Amino acid sequence: MTESVDIIYGLAWGDEGKGKITSAMAKNYDWVCRWNGGPNAGHTVYVNGKKYKTHSVPSGIFAGKKCVIGPGCVINISKMLEELRMLTMAGFDVNLVKIHPNAHIITEDHIAYDKEHLSHLGTTAQGIAPCYSDKALRRGKRAIEVLEPNWIWDGELSGKVLCEGAQSVWLDIDHGDYPYVTSSTTMPYGACSLGISPKRVNRIIGVAKIYDTKSGVDPLFPQTLWNDPVLNKIIELGGEYGSTTGRKRLVNWLNLDKLKKAIRLTGCTELIVNKCDILEQVGEYKLIHGNEVNTFVSLHSMKDYITGVLLNTCTDLHQITWSGDVETI
């Protein structure tokens, strides 16, 4: 029986630093689970000053926790094995990682289709959409059919469970900026697909950044943003390059209207805002609210403004934590 379930998820367009937060919090849990996505995700985590990049394995691996890849995830077997090899070499116990029998398998054909037909959407070219399409068409291959039995997990979660989202609200297949979205449920309710009663969910922890970024295409991020020298400075200082694709991410000022909507849509109880130190290094403090760019004299006054707007308009939200790039909470 699960005792309590906490959920970490992204409130923007991905790359908010969910992996960092998950690995920092994982020590307090029995299980760390992924419920959506696959090798399109890129989670960057620092352990004892060393940088690790994962795609499919839950960030609980760094804390030696039992890790589950849920039925709503998709798996590229060779990439997964590569990731497990890397983690083994680094001294982490990969026997803790188990996969739900119903997770779907990405094939070479899925990747080829993605590259040939979906590049105009700026996908990560990992075969994600074709794999989920075959799942819906009832012709996909599931983990139970192809993986060694020792990888398969068909048990029940117990104790304290932490669920780690991949991608984010505005990439969600139902609520995101369609068609510039991914193919899975990135919203926190997706965590219940792991076999969790919504009644057990306790903390709903949304992660955002103090500025917005978009990896791939989205008309909300016009190409003219590339010409702004201050936003380019954020790209460089913030290291805003895709951890899966290596692509430069398009940066814009924080859209507070979108953030508020994302928090309200998902019932976020705690908000973590990452990369505040990057804005401080850049020395310009702006956000978009009511479709206007607002300028602040300091990071402090910008934080006060955000806190005022969000705590007054988002009923379930009761805590905001400000964080830096590498620092954990």
Which amino acid, 17? Answer: G
- Of Mg ion, ligand IMP, none, which one does residue 186 interact with (CB within 5 to 8 Å by kind)? none
Stretch that binds ligand IMP, among 116-124, 199-207, 229-237, 317-325 (CB under 6 A): 116-124
Stretch that binds ligand IMP, among 75-83, 102-110, 178-186, 314-322 (CB under 6 A): 178-186
Of 213, 29, 239, the residue nearest 21 (C-alpha):
29
Nearer to Mg ion by Cβ, of 2 and 167: the residue is: 167
What is the footprint of ligand IMP within residues 209-228 (CB under 6 A)?
215-216
Of 212, 214, 209, the residue nearest 247 (C-alpha):
214
Residue 82, SS3 per DSSP: helix
- Of Mg ion, ligand IMP, none, which one does residue 171 interact with (CB within 5 to 8 Å by kind)? ligand IMP
What is the footprint of ligand IMP within residues 146-175 (CB under 6 A)?
166-167, 171
Separation of alpha carbons 2 and 263, rounded Å = 25
Nearer to ligand IMP by Cβ, of 2 and 255: the residue is: 255
Give the number of C-alpha atoms closer than 13 A to the C-alpha of residue 289, restricted to the C-beta side.
13
Burial class (CB in 10 A: 0-12, 13-18, 19+), 303: middle
Q: How far is the CB of 174 from ligand IMP (least distance, A)?
A: 14
Residue 70, SS3 per DSSP: coil
- Of Mg ion, ligand IMP, none, which one does residue 180 interact with (CB within 5 to 8 Å by kind)? ligand IMP
274: contact with ligand IMP by CB under 6 A: no
182: contact with ligand IMP by CB under 6 A: yes
Q: How far is the CB of 180 from ligand IMP (least distance, A)?
A: 6
192, 178, 130, 187: CA torsion to nearest 10: -10
289 is catalytic: no
114 is catalytic: no
Helix axes 108-117, 128-136, angle to 10 degrees: 110
Separation of alpha carbons 317 and 319, rounded Å = 6
Active site residues: 15, 43
Q: Would you tell me which residues interact with ligand IMP (CB under 6 A)? A: 14-15, 40-42, 122-124, 126, 128-129, 166-167, 171, 180, 182-183, 215-216
